[in-house]
Chain A
Amino acid sequence: MSFKNILENWSAFRKDAEAGGHHKYDHRWGMAINLDVCTGCNACSTACYAENNLPVVGKERFEKGQAMHWMRIERFWDDADKQYPERGASYLPMMCQQCGAATCEPVCPVAATYHTPDGLNAQVYNRCIGSRYCSNNCPFRVRYFNFYSYYETWAEPLNQQLNPDISVRDKGVMEKCTFCVQRIRTANDKAKMENRSIADGEVQTACAQACPTGAIVFGDTMDPNSAVSKLWAKHEVKRGDYLSKKPKQHPEKRGYRIFEELNVDPSVMYLERVREEI
């Protein structure tokens, strides 16, 4: 291996990363987000706050970069948008991409973040010591650090709506989108109690459930018959293999994964927004 090769594709050293690396996967949860129908309404973000016990930090802390939103709507103005501002911005819901070869995992000094057998990038709060290496190594900037003990100052009636299926985090730990793991585990338990495997559509993340336009599709990308797998296949997006990727030929095939060139193998596919050229 030449040094050039290492620089170009250091991730090739990972053990069969495309096939799952050290993991034998039961499921690989994934998402498809259709940006064409996303209106940027923030319902997904709000649902995430309600589902995952996220604190509302307020304007001052937000400006300091201490926001705790696991899911944020990013706004973009490309050149055409600037020319025709009445068309509005482009929106992109951004959450943890649950990378197959996550950059946050190898840098954790205490292995508080690791890969689960169902393809999720887990964060174990009790093991986390708050070194924040993971956040600094995340190319998507989707890891959020608890700078304060929000559970102590949770506004009075709202503490009654905390979700008991997920921990309320204390200060000093990192947290991020979990693909609503509590829902996945509940569905998994239910399926196992009935001696079957999880059916497609049985698990819905809070954001997918709340999206008024149905832009977010969640499911198992290992199951070829799931809605999300069909979307991935339709738009010719597949895991790994980024070097042999050809430029998109067909305008109908709008699928892409963010920072695919970093070869972190994200589990979220975005469908490009279609805009008429004026």
Chain B
Amino acid sequence: MFYKHVCKLVLPPVLMFVSMLLMSGAPARAELAAPPGVTPPVGTYAGADVAQPIEFPHDIHVNVNKINCMYCHTYARRSKVAGIPPTSKCMGCHKMIATDKPRIQKLTEYFEKRESPKWKKVHDVPDFVHFSHERHVKKFVFDADLPVENVEQVCGLCHGEIKAMTVAKKNKPLTMGFCQRCHEANGGPGDCWKCHK
């Protein structure tokens, strides 16, 4: 009788407590390290799944193939937007690589029809916000002498750990407070008209 009560009432909270301790001690996944000397912006966001025409696996490209973010998102260092690569860039590799996979066959179909997949925007800020990728990449990568192979740390400040995702999901709030706190911590401009105009 007593044992039954222990099992029913005492054990579950104890087990929960122990598991919480374990989880807090060793989180399920190590957070992406911030680049040296940078105070990362604070905040998380549970973004919804975005249905893309092809489930592009970021995890395979980054973890297995070790492709740099800026190899495909090549406009990040040159313009306001990071850009989606043209289908021809995908085909540069996928003419030869993994041609038997259904996703690649779908991609090849698009390429042969001379259409681009209608990718959906995941990290979208409102029209009255003017964010420039090139200025951020220059400050945190090129001016800070960060090795370019570590650029994912800088991207991760606002995009989170994309390499742990298949299809990209929004997991940082990208709100004004999120931006502004980071600007204050890292010496960014505080002028309203820098971002809103």
Contact = CB atoms under 8 A, between A and B. Distances in A.
A165 B134 contact: no
A167 B134 CA distance: 21
A182 B196 CA distance: 10
A75 interface: no
Interface stretch (B24-32, B113-121, B186-194): B186-194
B127 interface: yes
Given A189-B132, A193-B134, A124 B193 contact: yes
B191 A126 contact: no
A192 B196 contact: no
B135 A193 contact: yes
A165 B130 contact: yes
Contacts of B194: 185
Contacts, number: 42
Contacts of A193: 134-135, 138
A133 B60 CA distance: 57
A167 B128 contact: yes
A119 to B, nearest CB: 12
Contacts of B134: 189, 193
Given A114-B192, A122-B192, A189-B132, A178 B197 contact: yes
A125 B191 CA distance: 14
A137 interface: no
Nearest to B138: A193
B21 to A, nearest CB: 45
A124 B196 contact: yes
Interface string A88-124: 0000000000000000000000000010110010101
A117 B189 CA distance: 10
Contacts of A233: none
B40 to A, nearest CB: 23
A167 B192 contact: no
Interface size bracket, B side: 10 to 19
B127 A168 contact: yes
Interface residues of A, number: 21
Contacts of A167: 127-128, 196-197
B191 A181 contact: no
Interface string B131-169: 010110010000000000000000000000000000000
Contacts of A178: 197
A135 B135 CA distance: 35
Contacts of B197: 165-167, 178, 181-182, 185
Nearest to A166: B197
Contact of B135 (A120, A165, A181, A189): A189
A182 B191 CA distance: 14
A181 B193 contact: yes
- Please provide the 6 A-B residue pairs with the shortest distance between their CB atoms, ordered closest to farther: A167-B128, A122-B193, A124-B192, A181-B197, A116-B193, A116-B191
Given A116-B193, A126-B196, 10 more contacts: A114-B192, A116-B192, A124-B192, A124-B193, A125-B128, A168-B127, A178-B197, A185-B193, A185-B197, A189-B132
7 contacts: A117-B191, A126-B196, A127-B192, A164-B127, A165-B197, A167-B128, A167-B196
Interface of A: 114, 116-117, 120, 122, 124-127, 164-168, 178, 181-182, 185, 189, 192-193
